[in-house]
Amino acid sequence: MDTRELLLTQLQAIHNKSGWFVSMNEALTGVTEEEALWTNHQSANTIWGTVNHLLYYNRSYLNRFKGQGGSPYTIDSNDESFDNHNHDSWADTTRAFDTLMTEWTDAVRSSSKETLNEKSPDLTHLTIHNAYHIGQIVDIRKQQGVWDDELGVD
């Protein structure tokens, strides 16, 4: 397996092809706006906030990968990456994540070998970061009592 195939496999795992852990598509299956905003205490992240956070970092790193700068907007702290800066609906937020991951896949498929070799350490860390937060989303859903074991990770 070469670098491109490895990165594409990682991107699929966090986007839409469950394996050892569920993909984001599976983790968000059936999540309502109310569930996306739920938290069990003030300092805990919500599902919606976590998806916003991943949108921010995935977009920032994709822009860098493509040589288009970095962050889509300025934040003063990591905490602000969890905010809904675009005031998107829940449906728009999940659609934006799906679209962004498709953009990532397309960018990796079409990039040069040199770009892949240079950027692969950042991208592998980014996919691990996504997997970590997908696990948090599944845990939040389990706390809510709405996780469907049929989706995986019982």
- What pLDDT score does 36 carry? 95
What's this model's pTM, rounded to 2 decimal places?
A: 0.93
Number of helices (H) and strands (E), helices first, in the chain?
6, 0
H-type alpha helices, 23-112: 24-27, 33-37, 47-65, 90-110
The structural domain count of the chain equals 1
Q: What is the pLDDT of residues 26-36, one digit of tens each?
A: 999 999 999 99
Domain of residue 139 covers 3-14+49-146
Is the residue at 40 inside a domain? no
